[in-house]
Amino acid sequence: MDIDLPSGRYVVAVSGGVDSVVLLHILLQQCNIPQASTHGSQKNLAPQTASPTKAAAQNPKPSIQLTVAHFDHGIRADSIKDRQLVQKLAQAHNLPFVYDRAELGAGASEATARKARYEFLAKVQAAVGADAILTAHHEDDVLETIIINWMRGTKSRGLSSLRSGQQLRRPLLGVPKKRIRAYAQAHKLTWREDSTNQDETYLRNYIRKHVVGKLDAAARGQLLEHSAKAAELNDAIHSLVDEYLQHHTSAHEIDRLAYRELPKEVAREVLAEWLRRYTDASISTKLILRLDNAIRTARSGTQIDIAHGQHFVISRATATKTANDQ
């Protein structure tokens, strides 16, 4: 499994599961990684420098500096063992290791856990001056996300939401889960199995077992092809939506008069993107239709709930976001 990664400084997110352990192993095998002079378990990590050797400079492999980052959500009682494994892996290769722990509890949602995890990774990236964060999302994750977003009614954007960018790189997106597990077994790697991955009350786990796991190669290929086409379309749409948002909205307000001039489908794309940027709402077709209808038809003075204590106050010209404590 080859990965395409330019030289630079990266934070690699390692949970201790098979996917991230494989990603770390591949990085160690395929890249020149100058070793830091010190290592240890740190919650606050200052930027470190390590000069590449002369041999590394002459080697065509990318030269990268890695910080191994681990986030414990505080959901499972045995999660400390995940951290211990990742710490051991980092120390075995003399790599900086940084971790943090939250106390989200067993009932935490996937969205809450994801938000806390990425906030932690962003802080580590800033602290060490990294060019990007690396995660071990793979092809099966892409398929799961497509199906989940279809079910939630997020339309074309949902077909291409799991992508790799400049700040968040996902080198394994084109690799099926089966190949990752086979790689781990072939190289006799050690990893931890997250027991919550078997809990089918989590939608993603149910989709993984009962839908993605039963797709044949042709069906997987078709879904991935649709995702690629949607990504191209979404790039064009996003550019237009972004321009509209800059001229007709702010973080707290939507120009109601301009919004009502838009075709309904276009307006709903604008509204969905505004919600993603400025609220913590979970985007769904039901939410978009309800808020779109309110912005178009509600009387002045009407208050419309958005989510998590936030709501719109409707006036003749605007829909203004406020919170319960305001």
Please report, for the domain that includes residue 282, its CATH number. Answer: 3.30.465.60
Q: Which of 32, 67, 72 is nearest to 52 (CA)?
A: 32
Determine, yes or no, domain membership for 304: yes
Same structural domain, 147 and 256: no
**DSSP state, 221?**
H
Residues 202 and 308 in one domain: no
Residue 24 lies in a domain: yes
Single out the residue in 189, 214, 239 at which a domain terminates. Answer: 214
Check whether residue 204 and residue 283 sit in a common domain: no
So what's the pLDDT on residue 126? 96
Same domain, 181 and 303: no
Q: State the pTM of this model.
A: 0.73
- Domain shared by 266 and 210, yes or no: no
Q: Answer with the one of 214, 239, 270 that is the final residue of a domain.
A: 214
The domain in which residue 255 lies consists of 249-323
Total domains, the chain: 2
Same domain? For 209 and 97 the reply is yes
| Token pair listed for 248 | 């007709």
In the structure encoding, which two tokens stand for residue 142, read together? 């892409």
| Residue 113: inside a domain | yes
Instruction: Residue 41: give its domain's CATH number.
Output: 3.40.50.620
Question: What letters, b where the CB count within 10 A reaches 16 and e where it falls short, cover 256-295?
Answer: bebbeebeeeebbbbbbbbbeebeebebeeebbeebbebb
- What's the pLDDT score for residue 252? 95
- Considering the domain architecture, whether residues 170 and 67 belong to the same structural domain is answered as yes
pLDDT beneath 50, residues of the chain? 37-40, 44, 46-57
Q: What is the pLDDT of residue 46?
A: 45
Supply 267's token pair. Answer: 């307006």
Q: Let me know whether 70 and 206 are in one domain.
A: yes
Residue 67 lies in a domain: yes
